[in-house]
């Protein structure tokens, strides 16, 4: 099997190292601080892609946190799943059930949680974590 991967697609195919969960909270807070201090303009950070905004409105999970930029509305969390046989731009599951199914795939996937404000288009990566392609952590069911 050749290890081809399309540009922009995180390697989540077989043979990829099992990446640990990465939190981006500190980085995100640093960006927020830069905006508050005027080092970054709103237009630099409130530029969510229309597709991402659409996903945020349709399938975003309420984060229970106020948007740090516009402070007018609560942000939502959108998850993108990357892996083999998934779209190059990642799959954005529309329901919790679909997300669950993607996370339990026999092939490894990489999940990206993104914080989005549907109001001002603020967005930032929250965390990245691997899922699927493993037995541990799953219920000990018989593989029949
Ligand atoms: Zn906002």
Q: Is 118 among the domain residues?
A: yes
What is the Å distance from ligand 1's center to 2 Cα?
A: 43
CA of 21 to the centre of ligand 1 (A): 26
Within a domain: 95:
yes
> 123 alpha carbon to ligand 1 midpoint, in Å?
9
Residue 26 inside a domain? The answer is yes
5 domain residue, yes or no:
no
Q: Is residue 46 part of a domain?
A: yes
What is the DSSP track for 49-91? -HHHHHHHHHHPEEEEEE-TTT-SSEEEEEEEEEETTS-TT-B
Whether 80 maps to a domain, the answer reads yes
How many domains does one find in the chain? 1
> Is 3 inside a domain boundary?
no
Does residue 73 register a pLDDT over 70?
yes
Element (H, E) at 22: strand 22-23
* Domain with 46 in it: 22-132
Distance 138 CA to ligand 1 centre (A): 37
Question: What gap in Å lies between CA 26 and CA 21, rounded to an integer?
Answer: 14
The answer to whether residue 70 is domain-embedded is yes
Cα of 113 from ligand 1 centre, angstroms: 17
- Ligand 1 center to 67 CA (angstroms): 5
Mean pLDDT computed over every residue of the chain: 86
Q: Please tell me the distance between residue 58's alpha carbon and the centre of ligand 1 in angstroms.
A: 17
- For 80-127, the DSSP string reads EEEETTS-TT-B--SSHHHHHHHHT-SS-EEEEEEEE-TTT--EEEEE
Q: How far is the CA of 127 from the centre of ligand 1 (A)?
A: 19
Tokens 């329901």 identify what position? 95
Q: What is the 117 CA–ligand 1 centroid distance (Å)?
A: 5
Q: Residues 101-130: pLDDT tens digits?
A: 999 999 999 999 999 999 999 999 999 999
Is the model more confident about 81 or about 94? Answer: 81
CB 94 within 8 A of CB 55: no
The 10s digit of each residue's pLDDT in 83-107 is: 999 999 899 998 889 999 999 999 9
> Which pTM value belongs to this model?
0.77
| Residue 118 Cα to ligand 1 middle (Å) | 7
């Amino acid at each position: 099997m050749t290890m081809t991967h399309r540009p922009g697609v995180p390697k989540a195919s077989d043979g990829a190292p099992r990446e640990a969960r990465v939190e981006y909270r500190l980085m995100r807070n640093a960006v927020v601080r830069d905006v508050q201090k005027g080092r970054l303009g709103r237009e630099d950070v409130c530029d969510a892609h229309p597709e991402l905004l659409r996903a945020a409105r349709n399938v975003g999970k309420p984060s229970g946190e106020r948007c740090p930029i516009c402070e007018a509305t609560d942000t939502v969390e959108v998850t993108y799943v990357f892996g083999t046989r998934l779209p190059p731009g990642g799959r954005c599951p529309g329901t919790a059930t679909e997300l669950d199914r993607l996370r339990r795939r026999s092939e490894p996937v990489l999940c990206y949680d993104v914080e989005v404000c549907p109001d001002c288009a603020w967005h930032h990566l929250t965390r990245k974590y691997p899922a699927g392609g493993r037995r541990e952590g799953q219920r000990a069911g018989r593989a029949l």
